[in-house]
Amino acid sequence: MSTDPLPSWIRELRLSIKESSERGLIVSTKWATDMLNAIPPDRRRAAGGGPEDLSMRMQSADISDPEDQEEEDFFTYARQVFDAKEFQRVATILRDCESPKAVFLRLYARYLESERVAQLQWWKLSTSREQPPAPINDDLHELLELTGKPTDPWILFLQGIIYYRLSRRHDCMRAALASVATRPWNWSAWELLCSAIETYAELDHVLATLPLDPKHPMSICFRVKVANDFYNSGRGDFNAVCALRRMYFCNNLDDAEKQFDSNLAAEPFRLDDIDAHASTLWLANKKERIAELAAHFAGAPQDKPEYYCLMGNHYSARKEHEKAVRAFRKATYLDRTYGAAWTLMGHEYYEMANYHAAIESYRRAIGVNAKDYRAWSGLGRSYSALKLHIYAIYYNRKSTEIKPGDARSWMELTAAFEEVSKYRDAAACCRRAIGLDPDRENGIRHRYKLAWYHKRAGDHQQALETYLEIIRICRENYNLMRLKENIQSIVAFAELQMTHESSFGNIVDAYIILKNAPNPEDVPLPRATSNDPYAATEAIKRQREGQMYIKQYMKENPKEFQKVRDLLARLEGSIWRLSAERKQELRRRSLLNGIPGLKVNLV
């Protein structure tokens, strides 16, 4: 007996396509057809049958919608009028129909008409000078009463939409979960559920009450979707089904670019997710590829917000910020709920030093999607530029709560704490950033800031240990010895030891560390991995590169090395006056034992 669930899933998917298409749900139908056509043709043929076969076996709700011919004719007529976007006529045509799909279409048409009128007349009810992303709609309460206490999954989905528009998120989650329990292939219901979730506690509750098996494709896709919304790559068992967007949000840019290119090769004129594709290329600093994409889609329909988001990224890569703002604004005109466009517009305003406009754009983005960490981070950055550091701390903290794995957000919070002299808080945030940033040079820079925070907070022992950690890492990798933070750490370590000589200071350590300041002659010859002459030649080449790095740094920073020489001159007399016993005592409590390759001759 076969246990392969795929044939059953294919039949359910075909049924979902039929039902969502009948009800005018374009996004849900498009998503389901994409998923169906992603299944190999031989597996689809093997599944056999269609929605009619499945309707005989579905027990949870009325699937076949048995209506007399007259009502079916009314529904067919109304469906054509619905496609013409004459929503008031649809409600009139179906006013006496009672089948679940007719009731859904009638209420859905009324909802769309009320939203259209609300958007046109927003200025009558709103106190804002700008059109809000979600206009005030006084008809929503009446529509909610008309939905009643439905059992039909599609009417439950519509009820969830109305609950969400009324900011009743928990009722929205309840209705969406009830809808997907019997119609799991309605992707719009899953997106609605994702939009209603704002905290990790709510997410955990929804995952615990999910009415599907965790191995069901829609359950997996939901987990990936919500992981994308929370910009999180490390919670639970989120699968890599929607790998391309997940790789983008998790900064795996190379793999994301390859996947986007593969999708574009399969469907050259697909605009879906082209905004994320362009953002991936922008983050990877591939301006030429963005220009190629913009030229490729030059003839695309210009009524799509994704097109203008692509053009905005193109102009941004060329540093034409005013043109980028106009492109992103056009995207928001076409879709007021396009959160990515609001966020990117805020970035462009920030680059133009128009911080108040940037703040307004970021607030619009948060109004659309409160889980967008980039908008929260942008608010913090903008308030920092305006010297409103308490506000910056609040918004940067929200950003780190949403995406705790982003090193840049932690460093922005670190800088905000530094501005208000909260050095211990700044040190804690800086330590988090060090653990998250894979770039070794950034790690050295972050550690130098951390040591400075410890020093300002009076934690001198921790400051010494952090300076030594920087010196050790730099001595283990000659490419890092050229960083200014290396020589600055040597000077700061020595000054701290000399300043506190009467307490914890150790002038012998200060002397030894200064004597071992970066010097071209001290760059070691990298050990060859074999007796191959080519490997030996490469080792010598790397040694010379290291020497060149240090010579270049010495040439560019003569004051730093002059400071080393001045400190050595001050220390030499003190070292000569020390007794042998005192030298041995100071060497016993030295902190330099873990530093490789130090010359320790005190004679």
pLDDT for res 524 = 54
pLDDT average, residue stretch 166-176: 92
Surface-to-core class of residue 421, CB atoms within 10 Å of its CB (0-12 exposed, 13-18 middle, 19+ buried)? exposed
Residue 199 to residue 372: CA distance in whole angstroms:
12
Q: Which has more pLDDT, 61 or 113?
A: 113
Mapped to the 3 state alphabet, what secondary structure does 431-458 carry? HHHHHHCCCHHHHHHHHHHHHHHHHHCC
Contact between 149 and 113 (Cβ < 8 Å): no
Q: What percent of the chain has pLDDT over 90?
A: 32
Q: CA 107, 210, 159: angle at the middle one, nearest 5? A: 10
Q: Name the percent of the chain lying above pLDDT 70.
A: 81
The residue-averaged pLDDT of 256-267 equals 75
Question: Which of 41-45, 51-55, 175-179, 373-377 is predicted least confidently?
Answer: 51-55
In contact, 437 and 406? CB cutoff 8 Å: no
Query: What CATH code is assigned to 233-370?
Result: 1.25.40.10
pLDDT in tens, 145-164: 999 888 999 999 999 999 99
pLDDT higher than threshold 80 for residue 347: yes
pLDDT of residue 602: 52
pLDDT-derived band at 527, boundaries 50, 70, 90: low
| Chain Cα centroid distance, residue 135 | 27
Other CB atoms within 10 Å distance of the CB of residue 159: 26
Split at pLDDT 50, 70, 90, the class of 589 is: low
Q: Is residue 250 very low, low, confident or very high in pLDDT (cuts 50, 70, 90)?
A: very low
Complete DSSP assignment for 400-425: HHH-TT-HHHHHHHHHHHHHTT-HHH
Burial of 291 (0-12, 13-18, 19+ CB in 10 A): middle
How many angstroms separate the CA atoms of 268 and 201, rounded?
41
User: Which residues in the chain are classed under CATH 1.25.40.10?
Assistant: 8-49+65-126+133-232, 233-370
Q: What is the pLDDT of residue 248?
A: 43
Average pLDDT over residues 329-343: 89
Angle formed at CA 229 by CA 225 and CA 231, multiple of 5 degrees: 110
Confidence check: pLDDT of 449 > 90: yes
342, 364 Cβ separation under 8 angstroms: yes
Q: Spell out a b/e string for 40-51, using b for 16 or more CB atoms within 10 Å of the CB, else e.
A: eeeebeebeeeb
Q: How far apart, in Å, are the Cα atoms of 336 and each of 105, 258, 346?
A: 24, 31, 15
Mean pLDDT, residues 465-470: 90
Question: Superfamily for 8-49+65-126+133-232?
Answer: Tetratricopeptide repeat domain (1.25.40.10)
Q: Which two tokens stand for residue 40?
A: 């190999």
The larger pLDDT score, comparing residue 72 to residue 273, is at: 72
Please give the mean pLDDT across all residues of the chain.
81
- 397 vs 520: which has the higher pLDDT: 397
Q: What's the distance, Cα to Cα, between the start and end of the chain in Å?
A: 86
Tell which wins on pLDDT, 214 or 347.
347
Q: Which of 52-66, 253-267, 436-450 has the lowest mean pLDDT?
A: 52-66
- Residue ranges of the alpha helices (H) in 94-234? 100-120, 122-125, 140-147, 153-165, 169-182, 187-196, 200-208, 217-229
Q: Check pLDDT > 90 for residue 227.
A: no
- Return the number of other C-beta atoms located less than 10 Å from residue 258's C-beta: 12
- pLDDT the model gives residue 599: 67
The answer, yes or no, to whether residue 533 has pLDDT greater than 90, is no
Question: Helix, strand, or coil here: 321?
Answer: helix
List the single range of 78-82, 282-286, 453-457, 583-587 with lowest mean pLDDT: 583-587
Distance in angstroms (rounded) separating the CA atoms of residues 457 and 461 = 11
pTM: 0.75
**Helices and strands (H and E) in the chain: how many:** 33, 0
Mean pLDDT, residues 465-487? 82
> From CA 418, how far away is CA 428, in angstroms rounded?
11
Residue 504's pLDDT is: 60
Cα distance between residue 158 and residue 3, in whole Å: 34
Mean pLDDT of 16-28: 91
CATH topology of domain 438-519+535-602: 1.25.40
Which of 85, 133, 135, 115 shows the shortest CA–CA distance to 305? Answer: 133
Only one residue has tokens 């050259």, namely 268
Model confidence at 265, in pLDDT bands (50, 70, 90)?
confident
pLDDT tens by residue, 547-588? 676 677 677 777 777 887 888 788 777 777 777 777 676 666
The CA distance from 495 to 309, in Å, is 53
